[in-house]
Amino acid sequence: MKSNQVNTENDKNIITSQHEKDNPSIRRGLGRLFLTFFKIGAFTLGGGYAMIPIIESEVVKKNKWIDAMTFTDLIAVAQTCPGVFAANISIFIGYKLRKTKGAIVTCLGTCLPSFLIILIIAMFFHRFIDIPWIAAMFRGIRPAVVALIAVPTFNMARRTGINLRNAWIPIVSALLIWLCGVNPIWIIIAAGLGGYLYGKIVKA
């Protein structure tokens, strides 16, 4: 019995080593994770959702640490959890890749750039606020941020199978939040219950 367990563990180690050999990005470890998420945090403007295409480009397409569907699932989970979305998604990805150490490293990498930048701006705020070219620069950035948020929205809709039959769900949800002021928490709860009932009753 013990011999079989040892053989199973050896097989797992061989598979893990082979996977790391095939994917050199994973072998680079926590330092690579920190630098990747530090770069993401440093060059993302417009909030956590604007970070989605940059994270997808680095984590899914470039380094291939996770696949596109797993990334979409992690986004859904991060959205339903309390706290800052950017920190949530980085923690989930880091934990999936390197457990607790990975979660700490990716969260620090994501949050540290904005902390340092905001600290510097706060220290010199009165000097920056009246400089015309800085104000003009941020006015130019705002439209680009809209595109950064819109692109991952369309990509997620395509991956999650949004079509003419179920397109009414995100449309109605958006209108309830926008026009009626419904708290997004109630939308999330209703969607979860609806999905549960659909799976139990309709697909049973």
The per-residue pLDDT for range 144-200, each reduced to its tens digit, is: 777 777 877 887 788 777 888 888 888 999 899 989 988 888 988 898 888 888 878
The pLDDT assigned to 46 comes to 64
Domain ranges of the chain: 2-161, 164-204
Least confident of 21-35, 91-105, 159-173: 21-35
Q: What is the CA radius of gyration of the chain?
A: 21
**Alpha-carbon separation of residue 93 from 26, 99, 126 (angstroms):** 13, 9, 38
Q: Is the model's pLDDT at 20 over the cut of 70?
A: no
Q: Is the pTM above the cut of 0.85?
A: no
The per-residue pLDDT for range 120-143, each reduced to its tens digit, is: 878 877 777 677 887 788 778 778
The answer to whether 34 and 105 have CB atoms below 8 angstroms apart is yes
Q: Is the model's pLDDT at 95 over the cut of 90?
A: yes
